[in-house]
């Protein structure tokens, strides 16, 4: 299996970075090939602009998704985007490692999503969910938080993490066709002991070793909708 880890944390000594390193080592020890895109270390540009395209189908008005399609077809995407797309196409599994910022990903990872999961490859037209461009591949989120476990879940102060991150789990990964595996979360990591962090790493490694036996999260199937995506009668 080919594994692409996309990592977003500004501190190389962070616990999130330790999780990234553990994931890479665990996959390699199981005989898998691994590539890592460490976005902060790469100084990856997260801003989607007209500079992402060396050719324009419409030079007078920028429709970003349409220019993605045009430039992908013509082989004229910016070099940094093309390099990440090559990794994405190579990968059988995508792993995103990041700290939760404001109920979301760090901006640099959102920028990777915006610029790399391009229209014409990852999605487009009626190619989404179980017909998306990434179908047949798997994806996993491994995230860290400052909050404590009792703050997350039904009837808690923050609500359920899977709902908080639905825009990534479903609206991004599921939308483009990945089989999205149950995520892994490490809580309160800036404030816990070294032993507690070690315990989280043990649990994360166990999570990684069990991925082949996990059921993907449930996503919509377009078979349940008509040609304009109205629900079909049950």
Domain contains 31:
yes
Q: Whole domain around residue 106: which residue ranges?
A: 2-224
Domain contains 233:
no
Domain contains 48:
yes
Within 10 Å of residue 90's Cβ, how many Cβ atoms? 12
Plot region of 28 (φ>0 → left; ψ -120 to 50 → alpha; else → beta): alpha
| Dihedral angle computed from the Cα positions of residues 186, 43, 38 and 170, in that order, rounded to the nearest 10 degrees | 60
Domain containing residue 12: CATH number: 3.40.50.360
Domain contains 50:
yes
Q: What is the pTM of this model?
A: 0.94
Domain count within the chain: 1
Domain contains 193:
yes
Domain contains 229:
no
Spatial separation of the C-alpha atoms in residues 193 and 157, rounded to whole Å: 24
Tell me the pLDDT tens digit for each residue of 112-170.
Answer: 999 999 999 999 988 999 999 999 999 999 999 998 889 888 889 888 888 999 999 99
Spatial separation of the C-alpha atoms in residues 97 and 185, rounded to whole Å: 10
Domain contains 118:
yes
Q: Pick the residue with more confidence: 24 or 152? A: 24
Domain contains 232:
no
């Amino acid at each position: 299996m080919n594994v692409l880890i996309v990592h977003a944390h500004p501190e190389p000594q962070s616990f999130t970075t330790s999780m990234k390193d553990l994931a890479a080592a665990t996959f390699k020890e199981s005989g898998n090939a691994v590539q890592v895109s460490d976005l902060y270390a790469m100084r990856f540009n997260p801003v989607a602009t007209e500079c992402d395209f060396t050719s324009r189908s419409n030079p007078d008005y920028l429709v970003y998704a349409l220019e993605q399609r045009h430039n992908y077809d013509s082989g004229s995407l910016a070099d940094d985007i093309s390099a990440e797309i090559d990794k994405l196409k190579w990968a059988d599994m995508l792993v995103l490692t990041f700290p939760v910022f404001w109920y979301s990903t760090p901006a640099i990872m959102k920028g990777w999503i915006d610029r790399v999961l391009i229209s014409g490859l990852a999605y487009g037209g009626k190619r989404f969910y179980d017909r998306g461009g990434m179908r047949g591949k798997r994806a996993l989120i491994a995230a860290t938080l400052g909050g404590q476990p009792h703050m997350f879940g039904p009837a808690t102060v923050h609500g359920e993490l899977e709902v908080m991150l639905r825009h990534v789990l479903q609206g991004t990964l599921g939308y483009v066709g990945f089989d999205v595996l149950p995520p892994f979360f490490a809580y309160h990591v800036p404030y816990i002991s070294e032993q507690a962090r070690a315990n989280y790493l043990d649990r994360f490694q166990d999570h990684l070793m069990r991925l082949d036996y996990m059921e993907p999260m449930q996503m919509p199937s377009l078979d349940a909708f008509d040609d304009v995506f109205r629900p079909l009668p049950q």
